[in-house]
């Protein structure tokens, strides 16, 4: 294979990789919604680059690559091979127990707005509300407020005895900066579920000390969402 064809092949592989991430939804496992545009932009640009460079190569003289050139071009495929061969990232209960909880973020530094009618309270909001009564007050949290949360069962510490812990990760840029947010769930008849089981919980809020607890009325096991992050 000539050097030009090798470069065209590498561009085509990267283009196909970006397109695969978008089509399969796997992109959500690696980057956050704020940086999703990078993959879309990359897919478009790399596809155009591969096509244009391929046309240019067909019209130019063929150049045999040196060993160093072949090695250098081949190294560009390593990231794609790693994604293909290494199991996809799984941010579950084990990762949640090893990462700093989102509750460590100062709620006082945030500017909450009152929940609108029909707006669901989120994992982040419940976590921040446990850090600041003022934040909870502005948000409009109160005992008996109807909530619905979807997350996975973890063993993250919530300081609420007997409660099941429901967790969801939030990411800003990529999976490496993921932060877990956990909410205690009081289940009917002290029901328990295996770690990493995804659940949708419907219930009402109840304040126990500084923590906001969801008293579950209905719990349903669900599949992991296409986008597991919030």
Query: What are the pLDDT digits (tens) for 61-91?
Result: 677 778 888 888 888 888 888 877 765 655 6
Would you list the DSSP string of 103-123? GGS-GGGS---PPPTTPPP-H
86-91: long-range contacts, CB 8 A cutoff, minimum separation 24? 88/26, 88/29, 89/29, 89/30, 89/175, 91/169, 91/175, 91/178, 91/180, 91/228, 91/229
Q: What is the pLDDT of residue 70?
A: 83
DSSP 71: H
Please answer whether residues 3 and 63 qualify as being in contact, where contact means their C-beta atoms are separated by less than 8 angstroms: yes
Report the CATH architecture of 94-221: Beta Barrel (2.40)
What are the beta bridge partners of residue 218? Answer: 202
Could you tell me where in the chain the CATH 2.40.50.140 domains are found? 94-221
Using CA atoms, how far residue 157 sits from 90, 107, 131, 169, 216, in Å, is 20, 19, 15, 15, 19
Question: pLDDT below 50 — which residues of the chain?
Answer: 104-109
Residue 75: which H helix or E strand, with range? helix 67-75
Task: Report pTM.
Answer: 0.68
Q: What is the pLDDT of residue 14?
A: 92
């Amino acid at each position: 294979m000539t050097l030009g064809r090798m470069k065209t092949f590498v561009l085509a592989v990267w283009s196909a990789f970006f397109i695969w991430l978008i089509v399969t939804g796997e992109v959500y496992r690696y980057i956050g919604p704020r940086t999703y545009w990078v993959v879309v932009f990359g897919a478009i640009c790399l596809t155009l680059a591969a096509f244009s460079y391929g046309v240019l190569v067909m019209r130019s003289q063929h150049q045999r690559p040196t060993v160093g050139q072949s090695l250098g071009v081949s190294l560009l495929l390593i990231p794609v091979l790693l994604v293909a061969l290494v199991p996809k990232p799984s941010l579950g209960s084990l990762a949640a127990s090893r990462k700093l909880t989102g509750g460590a973020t100062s709620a006082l530094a945030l500017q909450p707005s009152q929940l609108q009618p029909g707006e669901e309270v989120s994992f982040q909001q419940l976590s921040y509300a446990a850090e600041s009564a003022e934040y909870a007050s502005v948000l409009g949290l109160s005992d008996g407020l109807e909530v619905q949360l979807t997350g996975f069962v973890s063993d993250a510490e919530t300081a609420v005895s007997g409660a099941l812990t429901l967790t969801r990760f939030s990411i800003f840029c990529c999976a490496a900066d993921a932060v877990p947010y956990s909410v205690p769930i009081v289940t009917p008849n002290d029901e328990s579920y295996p770690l990493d089981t995804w659940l949708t919980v419907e219930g009402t809020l109840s304040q126990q000390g500084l923590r906001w607890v969801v008293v579950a009325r209905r719990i349903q096991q669900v599949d992991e969402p296409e986008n597991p992050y919030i």
